Chains A and B, each alone.
Chain A
């Protein structure tokens, strides 16, 4: 039975339970709903929940656990002789799974019967060709041991599936019947229902924690795998980044970190003064008409996806800088450069810095401004000598948050900064960043289990820790600053 059909049946039972439960509740009190503690629909809900939830829970857990258990037991039966030179057990298991799926497909299509599978052997049949006809492509001929393992796998999976289906259906029916019998006028069905709903709400909140756990887990797990293949010292301290297809790569993070920091620095150099001045002008000087026009316009910059900025960098800004600045000055001939990516990233960060600064500047109490005006200060003197110093911690926090955004940015640097990993000072040269290399290493042709691919996880972990650290520091600074005015 397909998973979809099973789910539908359980859902159907739950739905049935709702209606039956509801009418039974009314029946128990002879039609007078006022005698019930909870509304009949809550009784119905409670029955439906008891029918569906235990069944689905077992369903989910079983689906999760069964492949692991079967995989474990079958891998134990695979003899070492079958594992190809330089390969791994996991590759063989992948073949086992694929063959098992192929056999299943052939049975479904009718070209193979259950009985004949038991008689299959590599001696009398070309398994590979047979599976190819069924749509499953295999890299090499099938050894007998693998075929046996595959048929075992299929049998176990089938049996497990059957057991699961039975158990789930039994649970659903049992839940339905038992909860129906529980219905009495005093039964606090609404409380039961609400307890379930609350559990669902809590579950939803846990998604955030699960996501973080998932991120950390997947990053750390693969990074550990990477460090098994490549020395950590070389990763953190080598100044050469040169991945080779065949192995013997140099995978040092330093040139990438340099590129990331350089590009982010240029971006902040551009965005922070502009964003700050825009925030100051719009909140202190601009009239309502200009503010009503300029503020949304700057906000639009924030809503534009970074791929648009990337294209802008690639097609317009890069060639412009090259033709009018780099080539005449003899400083470079590439249209992808630190300056290109930094400039465009700066444009992207302007609304970020501006809106954060706006909030911070507005948080400075008016009393402070009044005190300054009362002493005969001009507006710019008040801003420069009273408001900004008072807002300084908040502004620093905003800069750190913007830096964190710049460091984690991908598309603009992929399209605007180039792919050359080097430790250079010339802003008109192409210099790549951590994020670019994450993309290139994970979407390249190298095998997943090689250091060239796994290094992306190590890079990702470094990036994650970096941005998290910056965000935490920014938050601490902003919180300390807020205490000043509480």
Chain B
């Protein structure tokens, strides 16, 4: 058996110190393969960098806004004919009554600075102020009627095109073709900026103002969306955490090994892989059509997102429960605790860090979901803030990602800037949540 000899052509007795040709070729192939891997990793990281920098480049400018600084004389003759300073009666004066006051204030400022008004009409100058501004002024006056008769310093939004001009979106060439602005008006705006009447400042309104109509991108804000998302996150937290933990405890500690348990587990892993839009259809068909909850309400969005987040929380909680060693349970049972006592008094507290980490990650995923919310009617344009909970859960609201989507469907490129800015806000929230999850894990997780 052992004297069978090998055929010729095998590797001859060569020196180890000399790399033969074939080995060199193989090493070259090895180097190429290695380089391919490095290229792949680089492409992946470049994609990430490209994505983030494109969003930030587009959106960073939305945090600053162009304002017009005016001294507005609140003429009582126009605003409060009865002289009683009664808001209910003053409410009869619509924004049409307030707009001229702003126009006059701007004209006075222009005159005071000695800026030439050649080539621009009075209307053109007034048009530099946002059409939203009269409404803002009116709300302020109705809230503080004693201001009537005084001259107040006011900072109002400039018109969207002016803002676009100062941010580089609108140029003299495009203004020549634009219905809403003319190059002469832009020159006026330059002069006003030089004089300090127009300034660029931080746009806090972006976070607090509700959405605005298509023609007034400068006034569009995330206030309603942030509130809506917050409500929904509250609902998701309050519902999915208890249900998810309860289900996990049952499956992990109490469930017998039979077909029912298998069915439940199969269901959970299937639900984790169902596309999010199907949950939206579920929400529409059952929560809105069958149960009759109002469309576009945070409660419906919250319920749908809860169902989507449950599998994530269940999977994370089961892993956390599994990680607690059986010796802890045995020790509790050994002193005479019941199974339920051992779970709730010992196992659950020890698994808490893992559970909370999983919950935060689940919430972060839910915050970014868009498709199911579109289907339950959240694409609607919402101008009023939802009320405070619990009634507020039934008022129509929006959500951060839905607001982003909504803005991208509008024509004005100013809305693209706003959408990118909104995404930056969304990503900030997500970063905070993920960092919280990581910190929680690092600080509290035990290595058994």
Direct touching of A and B (C-beta under 8 Å): yes
- Residues on A facing B (Cβ under 8 Å): 190-191, 194, 197-198, 200-209, 211-212, 214-215, 218-219, 221-222, 273-274, 277-278, 280-282, 285-286, 290, 294, 297-298, 300-301, 303-312, 314-316, 347, 350-351, 354, 378-381, 383-384, 401, 404-405, 407-411, 414-415, 435, 438-439, 442-443, 448, 456-457, 460, 463-464, 467-468, 471, 475
Q: Tell me, in angstroms, the Cα distance from A300 to B47 when the chains sit together.
A: 11
B200 in the interface, Cβ–Cβ < 8 Å?
A: no
Instruction: Identify 20 new A-B residue pairs, CB closer than 8 A, beyond the known A207-B307, A211-B310, A378-B27.
Output: A201-B246, A201-B249, A203-B246, A204-B242, A205-B264, A207-B247, A208-B271, A274-B40, A278-B40, A306-B371, A307-B368, A307-B404, A310-B405, A311-B419, A380-B30, A380-B34, A410-B277, A411-B370, A438-B281, A467-B273
Chain A residues in 8 Å Cβ range of B37: 277-278, 280-281, 285
CA distance A300 to B45 in the complex (A): 10
Are A312 and B310 interface neighbours, CB within 8 A?
A: no
Is there contact, CB below 8 Å, between A442 and B284?
yes
Any A CB within 8 A of the CB of B228: no
- Docked pose: A460 CA to B278 CA in angstroms: 6
* A306–B368 touching, CB < 8 Å: yes
Q: Report if A301-B281 is in contact (Cβ < 8 Å); known contacts: A206-B264, A306-B368, A380-B29.
A: no
State whether A401 and B273 are in contact (beta carbons under 8 Å apart), knowing that A285-B37, A311-B55 are contacts in the complex: yes
In whole angstroms, what is the CA distance A218 to B286 when docked? Answer: 7
Give chain B residues whose Cβ lies under 8 Å from the Cβ of A350.
44, 47
**Distance between Cα atoms of A286 and B416 in the complex (Å):** 40
What is the CA–CA distance of A105 and B116 in the complex, to the nearest angstrom? 60
Instruction: Give chain B interface residues in 94-145, CB to chain A under 8 Å.
Output: none
A315 and B420 contacting across the interface, CB-CB below 8 Å: yes
**In the complex, which residue of chain B has the Cβ closest to the Cβ of A215?**
B282
Interface size class of B (residues with CB under 8 A): 35 or more
B404/A311 in contact, CB under 8 A: yes
Residues in chain B near residue A301, CB distance under 8 A: 44, 47-48, 51
Instruction: Please determine whether A207 and B55 come into contact, CB atoms closer than 8 angstroms.
Output: no
Which residue of chain A has its CB nearest to the CB of B54?
A: A316
Give every chain B residue within 8 A of A468 (Cβ-Cβ).
270, 273-274
* Docked CA distance A383–B426 (Å): 41
**A300 and B48 form a contact (CB under 8 A):** yes
Q: Are B275 and A410 in contact (CB under 8 A)?
A: yes
**Chain A interface mostly:** helix
Q: Which residues of B contact A (CB under 8 A)?
A: 26-27, 29-30, 33-34, 36-41, 43-45, 47-48, 50-51, 54-55, 58, 242-244, 246-247, 249-251, 254-255, 263-264, 267-271, 273-282, 284-286, 289-290, 307, 310-311, 314, 338, 340, 364-365, 367-371, 374-375, 377, 379, 401, 404-405, 408, 416, 419-420, 423, 426-427, 430, 434
- Does A471 lie within 8 Å of B271, measured CB to CB? no
Residue contact A312 to B51, C-beta cutoff 8 Å:
yes
Q: Ordered nearest first, which 8 A-B pairs have the shortest CB separation?
A: A408-B275, A305-B368, A281-B37, A218-B285, A204-B246, A277-B40, A380-B33, A201-B250
Nearest residue, chain B, Cβ from A301: B48
Instruction: Among A207, A215, A306, point to the contact of B310 (Cβ < 8 A).
Output: A207
In angstroms, Cα B339 to Cα A191, docked, is: 11
The answer to whether A443 and B379 have CB atoms under 8 Å apart is yes
Q: Which A residues are CB-close (under 8 A) to B267?
A: 208-209, 211-212
